[in-house]
């Protein structure tokens, strides 16, 4: 059984009498540790599919299974637990809390789940949580910006805080929705390099990146192209390192 399995997945949204089909009978398998690019134009269903994997939305029909967990049939309570334990999310618009500085934004995310200890226990000690938050800010090169608030950070810096926040939870799955969408080429590629370095095969972390930019597709070892809510292409490839991407 694949780590992530989507079977005959469909999703339809209604606004008054207008109905929009976002996903139309999607079948997809993703193995543990793969870096998958979901590619396609606006309206193709990419973000909806990402939300299904992360338990952020539920299908009208079909099933979502992650690590043998029937995500599509979980109650609201267990969906919350699933997201806390399994999922890290990087958004296009960063979604940082404006009243918290960079370090506090990461601490807030860690505080929800605690820090895993070597003996298998979970610590909610404030000092341990702060050290974990500092560790991940340093990993994204923002050691000297940890006391800055989002409004005091550039777009690229805010996205790096967002990545640190997502990965400080040490999730099994990282979902990134257009992580370079609001960034210029140089900063966008730097963000991808950071994500690549922090989600390598050695960590066995599964990564799914949504993009409309075809130049990012070579970064994945699996590319899934969506069109009108359906899988138009689904192929594996030898990935290209982020530092070699150009657009």
8 A C-beta contact, residue 161 and residue 105: yes
Task: Find the helix or strand (DSSP H, E) in which 39 lies.
Answer: strand 35-39
Span 50-101, pLDDT tens digits = 999 999 999 999 999 999 999 999 999 999 999 988 999 998 888 899 999 9
Instruction: Categorize the per-residue pLDDT at 49 as very low, low, confident or very high, splitting at 50, 70 and 90.
Output: very high
Instruction: Categorize the per-residue pLDDT at 202 as very low, low, confident or very high, splitting at 50, 70 and 90.
Output: low
How many CA atoms does the CB half-sphere of 183 hold within 13 Å?
24
Instruction: Categorize the per-residue pLDDT at 201 as very low, low, confident or very high, splitting at 50, 70 and 90.
Output: low
Look at strands 115-116 and 61-66 and give their pairing: unpaired
Span 132-181, pLDDT tens digits = 999 999 999 999 999 999 999 999 999 999 999 999 988 999 999 999 88
The C-alpha atoms of residue 186 and residue 47 are separated, in whole angstroms, by 24
Arithmetic mean of pLDDT, 103-116:
91
pLDDT for 11 beyond 80: yes
Q: What is the mean pLDDT of the chain?
A: 91
User: According to the model, what pLDDT value does residue 232 have?
Assistant: 96
The C-alpha atoms of residue 103 and residue 125 are separated, in whole angstroms, by 16
Q: Phi, psi (5° rounding) for residue 133?
A: -65, -45
Q: What DSSP designation does 43 have?
A: T
Q: Which domains does the chain have, with CATH numbers?
A: 4-244 (3.40.50.300)
Q: What is the pTM of this model?
A: 0.90
Q: How far is CA 80 from the centre of its chain?
A: 16
Arithmetic mean of pLDDT, 5-12:
96
Arithmetic mean of pLDDT, 97-113:
93
| Percentage of the chain exceeding pLDDT 90 | 69
């Amino acid at each position: 059984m694949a780590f992530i399995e989507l079977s005959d997945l469909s999703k339809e949204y209604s606004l008054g009498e207008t109905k929009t089909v976002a996903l139309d009978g999607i079948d997809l398998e993703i193995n543990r540790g793969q870096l998958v690019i979901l590619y396609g134009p606006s309206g193709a269903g990419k973000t909806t599919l990402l939300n299904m994997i992360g338990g952020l939305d539920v299908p009208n029909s079909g099933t979502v299974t992650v690590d043998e967990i029937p995500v599509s049939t979980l109650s609201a309570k267990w969906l919350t637990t699933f997201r806390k334990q399994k999922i890290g999310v990087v958004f296009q618009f960063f979604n940082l809390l404006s009243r918290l500085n960079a370090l506090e934004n990461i601490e807030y995310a860690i505080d929800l789940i605690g820090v895993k200890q070597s003996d298998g226990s979970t610590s909610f000690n404030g000092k341990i949580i702060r050290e974990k938050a500092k560790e991940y800010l340093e990993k994204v090169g923002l050691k000297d910006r940890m006391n800055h608030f989002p409004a005091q950070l550039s777009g690229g810096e805010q996205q790096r805080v967002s990545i640190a926040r997502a990965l400080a939870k040490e999730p099994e799955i990282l979902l990134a929705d257009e992580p370079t969408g609001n960034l210029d080429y140089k900063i966008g590629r730097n963000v991808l390099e950071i994500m690549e370095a922090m989600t390598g095969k050695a960590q066995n972390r599964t990564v799914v990146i949504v993009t409309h930019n075809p130049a990012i597709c070579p970064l994945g070892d699996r590319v899934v192209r969506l069109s009108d809510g359906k899988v138009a292409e689904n192929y594996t490839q030898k990935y290209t390192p982020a530092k070699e991407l150009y657009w």
